[in-house]
Amino acid sequence: MKNLATALAKAQSEFRTVPQSGKNPFHKSTYSTLKDCWDTARPVLANHGLSVLQFPDIMGDGNFVLKTVVLHESGESMEGYQPVISSKPDAQSMGSALTYARRYGLCAALGLVSGDEDDDGNAASQVKSKPARAKTAPPATPPSVGGATNPSLTEQIKSAPHLGALTTLYEGNKDAIGAMSEDERNKVLEIFKAMKVQLSGKEKI
């Protein structure tokens, strides 16, 4: 592993901070896209005889994972696995989850870092504990979406038990939401935002 270790150490000294071209309207934040990560890493890797392979795999327990392999031109390599967690068992949700896993798997394997604002994982989808507050008036009920605008997604949003589940639901449907018409997308995002306010109020009580 000496050749790989030496080359990777040199590459890491040259990696710049990954830019953040992605925008998360749900959390009103920016994050580094998969393209941002690859654009940062690819030229440096090539200069040091390094390359990265990523492909989905299934573990012995049946769980889906993303396998990331860092290779050196000498033939040396190292590998790791990133869980692939999809909110629904369909191709679109799995594709979104894979993209998410590829981004984090690549950054973890190479030691890439993003700017301070990058929290597209929303603090690993966990809600931080907060000091207790006096109970206030109940939050407003999330707006409903008329017609046939994603009724199943609407029901899932309104039944989310906590902020972590709501964030996971959003991440798993991000591509589908982006493909909607502007009117449908705005309605769904309003439901997400209203539910986020409602769940945040419950966490503070």
Contact 138, 144 (CB under 8 A): no
User: Do 24 and 82 sit in the same domain of this protein?
Assistant: yes
Give dist(CA 54, CA 62) in Å, integer: 19
In a domain, 119, yes or no: no
Residue 133 has pLDDT above 70, yes or no: no
Locus of tokens 């000498």: 74
User: How many domains does the chain fold into?
Assistant: 2
In a domain, 17, yes or no: yes
Residue 193 has pLDDT above 50, yes or no: yes
Of the candidates 79, 110, 141, which is a domain's last residue? 110
C-alpha dihedral, 126 to 130 to 132 to 136, nearest 10°: -70
Mean residue pLDDT across the chain: 79
Give dist(CA 171, CA 92) in Å, integer: 12
| Paired sense of beta strands 29-31 and 50-58, if any | unpaired
pTM of the complete model: 0.57
pLDDT band at 131 (very low <50, low <70, confident <90, very high): very low
